[in-house]
Amino acid sequence: MSHASISTSSSTSRKRKSKSPIKALIIAITCSLTALAVILTNDPSLILWDKAWPGLIRPLLRMLGFLGIGLIVGITVEGMGWAPLLATLVRPVMRFGNLKDESGAAFTTAFFSGTAANTMLMTFWKEKKISLQEMKLSYLINTGLPVFLLHLPTTFFIIVPMTRTAGAIYLSLNGIAALLRTFLLLIWTRIKLAPHAATSAAENQPAHRKTSAAKVLDAFRKRFLRICTITAPVYFLIYALNQAGMFEYLRTTAAGWITSAYLPVEAVSVVVFAVAAEFTTGIAAAGALLDGGALTTEQLVLALVLGTIVATPIRALRHQLPSQTGVFSFKIGFPMLLMSQALRISCLICVTSLYIWIAG
């Protein structure tokens, strides 16, 4: 009876693996045909080289390049047994959340590369070193404080010089919201995940595995091919929908509703610019309104926060969905992306509400 159950289990596993490429192929074909139909309906010239290269092909190649770098880093870290070494600095935090060293390694990596961290989590899950639940929760944790600090140097020198105090407050609110999100998720993992046995000092040392470059490259080739199969068609679909004006319509509609409901008319342009594709333009417009006295510091902070709330889900769909569905599957990656954005918006609203209460 035991032998029969094992045979059934292995048969089910083989069937699942055989269906996976078919599902990926169906998704890829569906996205590609839909994108092509949207482009031919709206502007067939978009498939010509002079428009396709700067708008579609070059950005896609750049995204796949970064995904490839993240993938090979993740495979190398897993293959060489370096996870305990990377997890050393954050091990007390991970222990608090009942998270394993593999999750700690991905958390550390997320401060430098979100793509590499996601790739590591997916690799560790496939190797059955962490559970699916821990992978999802670790992903959500990594999108908190690590992502904020990763982008802080760039955003700081764009926002603060143009908007001064309002910009500093805005960044502080985002930082506190990211910290709050990470802390709450660690509490949740402590509740949901079972404690695991602490490793000894000897076990904490990185394992010296005999992983050859050929094995790393072979694993990279197989995984990267699967990622490209999903990422490229999804990116093509997002590109087509963007050129058709869908995201611009969503931005304008959402910005118009929020500004008319909560902000003075003078702040409308700030929010609209802030949710546009060119973030620097929105910040410049915000600084001009502040200098002209059209908005107070508190109003500008609120306008920037609301602009971020409007922009967050749209930017996530445009910029993160293709890579998310490539590294993870669509079934896993899309819900995790929605959850991370919902948590980001919720925590930002809570922190901003407290700021409004204190400032008022």
Count of CA atoms in the C-beta half-sphere (13 A) of 184? 15
Give the residue among 232, 316, 330 at the shortest CA–CA distance from 29.
232
The answer to whether 307 touches 263, Cβ cutoff 8 Å, is: no
Nearest CA among 179, 85, 190 for reference residue 102: 85
Q: Are 163 and 300 in contact (CB under 8 A)?
A: yes
Between residues 19 and 218, which one has the greater pLDDT? 218
Q: How far is CA 144 from the centre of its chain?
A: 10
Coil, helix or strand at residue 130: coil
What values do phi and psi take at 111, rounded to 5? -70, -15
For residues 63 and 247, the model is more confident at 63
User: Does the CA dihedral 99-103-109-111 come out positive or negative?
Assistant: negative
φ, ψ of residue 257 to 5 degrees: the values are -65, -45
pLDDT at 12 over 50: no
More confident residue, 10 or 216: 216
Under the banding of pLDDT at 50, 70 and 90, the label for residue 18 is very low
Classify residue 244 by its DSSP letter: T
Angle at 336 between CA 334 and CA 342, to 5 degrees: 105
Which one, of 229, 219, 186, 223, lies nearest residue 94 by Cα? Answer: 186
Contact predicate 101/91, CB 8 Å: yes
- pLDDT surpasses 80 at 13: no
Residue 146 near residue 111, CB atoms below 8 Å: yes
Confidence tier at 350 by pLDDT (50, 70, 90): very high
Q: How many Cβ atoms sit within 10 Å of the Cβ of residue 3?
A: 7
Q: What is the pLDDT of residue 141?
A: 94
Q: What percent of the chain has pLDDT over 90?
A: 17
Is the model's pLDDT at 120 over the cut of 50? yes
Lowest mean pLDDT among 57-61, 258-262, 297-301: 258-262
Spatial distance between the Cα atoms of 111 and 73, rounded to a whole number of angstroms: 14
Residue-wise pLDDT for 224-282, tens only, equals: 887 888 888 888 888 888 888 877 777 666 656 665 555 665 565 566 555 554 566 66
Cα atoms found within 13 Å of the Cα of residue 301, Cβ hemisphere only: 23
Look up residue 142 and give its amino acid: N
Determine which of 10-19, 171-180, 241-250, 322-331 has the lowest per-residue pLDDT on average: 10-19
69-119 tens-digit pLDDT: 877 877 777 666 666 666 677 888 888 889 988 898 889 888 888 888 888
**8/347 Cα distance (integer angstroms):** 45
Task: Return the number of other C-beta atoms located less than 10 Å from residue 275's C-beta.
Answer: 26
Please choose, from the candidates 125, 146, 121, the residue with its C-alpha nearest in 3D space to the C-alpha of residue 324: 121
Per-residue pLDDT band for 17 (boundaries 50, 70, 90) equals very low
The DSSP symbol for 354 reads H
Q: What is the pLDDT of residue 20?
A: 61
Say if residue 324's pLDDT is above 70.
Answer: yes
